[in-house]
Amino acid sequence: MRITASYKVSDTTAFKRKLLEWAQSFDEVVWFDSNGHRDRYYSFDTLLAVDALTSFQTDFINGFDNLKEYQSATKDWIFGYLTYDLKNDIERLSSGHTDRLKFPEIHFFQPKKVIRVKDKEVLFDYLNIVADEIQTDYEMFLSKHSYKTDIQLNNQSVKIKMGIFKDEYFRQVKKMLVHIHRGDIYEANFCQEFYAENTRIDALKTYQRLNSVSKAPFATFLKLHDKYLISASPERYLKKRGTKIISQPIKGTARRSDDIKTDRKLKLDLQESSKERAENIMIVDLVRNDLSKSARRGTVEVEELCGVYSFAQVHQMISTVVARVEPEKNIIEILKETFPMGSMTGAPKVSAMKIIERLEAFKRGLYSGSVGYIDPKGDFDFNVVIRSILYNDTEKYVSFPVGSAITALSNPESEYEECLLKARAMRDVLENG
């Protein structure tokens, strides 16, 4: 059972900063920040879960079935992640690359404390065993007390390495294009890794810096003991609200410009690009097919096709696909039937994933997976883990992969430049501190 209390705050910016700093005293933290972005499916400004009462982690073998049992047993808030390599639980696939980050393939926990911020209201949702701490916690957040993290490091010493160099990237993209031209696939998301070894970073400060420059709608800070996700994701994988499910795939990226006229032209060029629209539409078709596995017949529809939205550093082409599910439909089955998200695989999905595994040079793990929550009513919301820094403090390993969609119209040089554009914020934050 949970006890809920609501309070008003006048300065939500200061309150949120203290909230996230306070959360660092716990071993399990999931923080979501919408950064002021509000579409029709907006639910909160900030959502925080800390301090596990129970937790669940496993590898991919029967991963979704085991998650189903855990969610059914708790019937409460659970927060956590699904790694890309859960594809191996769904299809006859494998992951052969070295795992240098060592994240379990699924990890969820039932938090003792859930705190939501929306407008000027803060909602505390605490389990009974800690409910007497609500008032104390609230008063601490309003005080002038400053929270300090245990690790105080700067990132000046981070030396970024490339998983593959430019020539190798070109060779692999050309191999991908051979598969496309002979009809094996229509599109595939090809990714490369940037990384740093023997490196320690202050994860909280790194997140704060990345979030300040990116201001993404699905920004996430995840801490599970020694493992961290620092994410400026702009993309929603899947949301469930009642019997409605919503997916918002992104395909199509253009840089921003400080010059207003140039910026408008870049946005218009993206909107009118036949290549970018083709990429987006192919993934929309894949998402429609994925949702149809769970949906009531005739309820899958495209609410918006190839809308262009502007973020702090890039313009993005986003579509919205929705469907209706039966009330008794198992929520973990919905995730299983649509995972991994089409924007990070390609079409046809299984063929694309096989080719991706052969041509990429690293294990994706949590990158291109998803972080999210399931609430006590069975509603959920999950993002796409892109524009993200992954960090294992014990291994002293930092990783930030990036990728782009390869189609018949792709030019390797342009795709490479798109990857560098997507990597820029993360690289700047790590290298420049």
Q: What is the pLDDT of residues 218-247, one digit of tens each?
A: 999 999 999 999 999 999 999 999 999 999
Per-residue model confidence as pLDDT tens digits over 300-312: 999 999 999 999 9
Mean pLDDT of 260-271: 97
CA 208/CA 35 separation, integer angstroms = 12
CA 29/CA 222 separation, integer angstroms = 6
**pLDDT computed for residue 145 by the predictor:** 62
Q: Which residues of 110-138 are buried (b: 16+ CB within 10 A; e: fewer)?
A: bbbbbbbbeeeebebbbbeebbeebeebb
Is pLDDT above 90 for 155?
no
Per domain, the residue ranges of the chain are 2-432
For the record, the structure tokens of 362 come out as 């690293």
Non-local CB neighbours of 298 within 8 Å, separated by 6+ positions:
none
Is pLDDT above 50 for 150?
no
Per-residue model confidence as pLDDT tens digits over 273-320: 999 999 999 999 999 999 999 999 999 999 999 999 999 999 999 999
**pLDDT computed for residue 146 by the predictor:** 59
> How many helices (H) does the chain have, and how many strands (E)?
11, 22
CA 108/CA 82 separation, integer angstroms = 9
Is pLDDT above 60 for 151?
no
The pLDDT-based confidence of 376 (bands split at 50, 70, 90) is very high
Cβ atoms of 308 and 36 closer than 8 Å: no
**pLDDT computed for residue 147 by the predictor:** 56
The pLDDT-based confidence of 142 (bands split at 50, 70, 90) is confident
The average confidence (pLDDT) of the chain is: 95
Mean pLDDT of 330-344: 97
pTM for the predicted model, two decimal places: 0.96
Helix (H) or strand (E) segment spanning residue 392? strand 388-392
The SS3 assignment for 182 reads coil
% the chain with pLDDT above 70: 97
Is pLDDT above 50 for 25?
yes
For the record, the structure tokens of 65 come out as 């079935």
The vertex-349 CA angle with 238 and 361, nearest 5°, equals 100
Per-residue model confidence as pLDDT tens digits over 1-15: 999 999 999 999 999
**Overall fold of domain 2-432:** Anthranilate synthase (3.60.120)
Is pLDDT above 70 for 356?
yes
**pLDDT computed for residue 116 by the predictor:** 98
Q: Cα 304 to the chain's mean position, in Å?
A: 21
CA 168/CA 166 separation, integer angstroms = 5
DSSP-assigned letters across all residues of 342-369: GGGSEESHHHHHHHHHHH-SS--TTTTS
Per-residue model confidence as pLDDT tens digits over 105-140: 999 999 999 999 999 999 999 999 999 999 999 998
**pLDDT computed for residue 417 by the predictor:** 96
**pLDDT computed for residue 143 by the predictor:** 78
**pLDDT computed for residue 91 by the predictor:** 96
Helix (H) or strand (E) segment spanning residue 308? strand 301-310
Is pLDDT above 60 for 152?
no
Q: Active-site residue numbers?
A: 235, 251
